[in-house]
Amino acid sequence: MRGTIFGVLLLGGLGTSAQATVYTIGPDGAFPTVNAAIADANANPDNHEFRLQTGTHVGGVVFPINGEKVWQISGGWNASFTQNPIAPSQTIWQASALGGTVLTFNLTSMAQLQVRNLTILGGLGVGAPGGIYGGLANASQFSLEDCRVTGHQSNFGAAGLRLDATQTSQIAIARCEFTNNTAFGTGQKDGIGAFLRASNSARISVSESYFGFNQDSVQSSGSFGAGLSVEGFGDAQLTLSDNVIADNVVLATSSSGAGLAIGVFDNSTLDINALEVARNSAPNQVSGNRTQAYVLATLTADFGIGNCLVTNSALGGIYVTHTGTGTSTMSNCTVVNNQGTGLVYEASAGSHSLTNTIVHGNEGSTFGLILGTPVLRSNNLGDDVGANNVNPQFVNGSNDFHLAAGSPAIDTGSNSFNTATSDLDFNPRVVNGVIDIGAYEFQTPPTDALFASGFEDMP
């Protein structure tokens, strides 16, 4: 991904406890299968660490986890189980020949489950996802890091992963890929790559992850977020940072947010920073909002969207709507080259603002931009009315939306609306004292361009 995110969630006990029992699994391990290791671990009161040897491990498992216990599962271990460099593709954990979900768990009573460095492959779920299916309650915690969730099928709403968290539980997903997952059959499909739901003070964080080439069924009654769907209820907290949602396909005739769909309800909060949404499609769609990304907020929920790029789709770009009295902001985004309306931002009451944003080259309305009356606007640029109707001058108007030297977006934004320290590339967000408009900050080249390559010390 573009940058490194630290402190996604502070999950207690991320390191192996001194009281943890290590279970080695594989041809050179003490146990031939994950199931065999779990059977032994269930009778052990200590924390557990499962080390999967490099190679392929077959058979889905169910983790009956409760109590203040930490369970760790990691792949990539060598024959002596002393080293495991990060390479998820080297360790495959796949469903049995009969299909089913690869990993199922239910966490309660402050239990923790940590999964990393694995490719989770080829599940066939009926009434459940094919990849990972989990529930969390009572302050439990789940983390998925450096993993690939790919090639799963399901008639469920989600095919790759579904997690439901409540009662102050926490979900953290970092540096993962959710690709080539497929939903089949009738019914509504939500989050085919991944579906996450939080309620009652639960927290969800997704960072540095990629959701691509996931697809629903033409028989689906409707689909929301073929790549990723996230929902928050009560006073849940949702955080998305440095993620890419691209090339997902909705075949249903009804869709809202072909790539990304987010619902923020009640008193929940949503924070999105550094997001790229590109080339998601819904070729059969006749109803819904016909956009790549959809964000819905109700009641007193609050959300902020910043440093985002939404581009290059036969659909519209992003549809943002707040039906309640909460607050919302959208700043430093670039919405370009969508064949539908680039940006729709609606609100009925509350406080809402669109700032430092470029909307350019979209085709769905006169200016590619529709704003509700309560949305205050300032320091925006692109296909708009009056003085704002200015070409932002990208490096390449088709595929490189960094600002070219001399762009009218450089140093013309408003610092007062900025809360980020970095842009979409994780370069400094403010250069020369004034923020730029759009997702990318123009980085001032070195004064002496002769030495800009850094090879000045070569003989």
Q: How does strand 287-288 pair with strand 316-322? A: unpaired
User: Which tokens in the block code for residue 345?
Assistant: 């931002």
Closest by CA to 332, choosing from 421, 445, 229, is 421
For residues 74 and 82, what is the distance between their CA atoms, to the nearest angstrom?
A: 12
Closest by CA to 194, choosing from 231, 233, 219, is 231
Mean pLDDT of 54-67: 89
| Complete domains list, the chain, with CATH | 16-288 (2.160.20), 290-444 (no CATH)
For residues 154 and 173, what is the distance between their CA atoms, to the nearest angstrom?
A: 21
pLDDT at 56: 97
Q: Look at the chain and count its residues.
A: 459
Cβ contact 333:307 at 8 Å: yes
Cβ contact 259:227 at 8 Å: yes
Burial of 431 (0-12, 13-18, 19+ CB in 10 A): middle
Cβ contact 319:294 at 8 Å: yes
Percentage of residues in the chain with pLDDT exceeding 90? 81
Mean pLDDT of 31-55: 92
For residues 312 and 329, what is the distance between their CA atoms, to the nearest angstrom?
A: 23
- Tell me the pLDDT of the chain averaged across its residues: 91
Question: For 250-306, how does the pLDDT look when each residue is reduced to its tens digit (9 = 90+)?
Answer: 999 999 999 999 999 999 999 999 999 999 999 999 888 899 999 999 999 999 999
User: Which tokens in the block code for residue 119?
Assistant: 């490719």
Strands (E), 250-367: 254-255, 260-264, 269-278, 287-288, 291-297, 302-313, 316-322, 327-331, 334-338, 343-347, 351-355, 358-360
Sign of CA dihedral 406, 433, 390, 393: positive
Question: For 182-225, how does the pLDDT look when each residue is reduced to its tens digit (9 = 90+)?
Answer: 999 999 999 999 999 999 999 999 999 999 999 999 999 999 99
Closest by CA to 273, choosing from 396, 410, 419, is 419
C-alpha dihedral, 367 to 371 to 376 to 379, nearest 10°: -20
For residues 248 and 250, what is the distance between their CA atoms, to the nearest angstrom?
A: 7
pLDDT at 181: 98
Question: How many Cα atoms sit within 13 Å of 119 on the Cβ side?
Answer: 16
Which helix (H) or strand (E) element contains residue 41? helix 34-41
For residues 441 and 17, what is the distance between their CA atoms, to the nearest angstrom?
A: 43
pLDDT at 293: 98
Mean pLDDT of 3-21: 45
Question: For 359-417, how does the pLDDT look when each residue is reduced to its tens digit (9 = 90+)?
Answer: 999 987 666 888 888 999 999 998 776 667 889 999 999 999 999 999 999 999 999 98
For residues 248 and 52, what is the distance between their CA atoms, to the nearest angstrom?
A: 31
Q: Name every residue whose Cβ is closer than 8 Å to that of residue 66 and which is 6 or more positions away in sequence.
A: 106, 107, 108, 109, 111
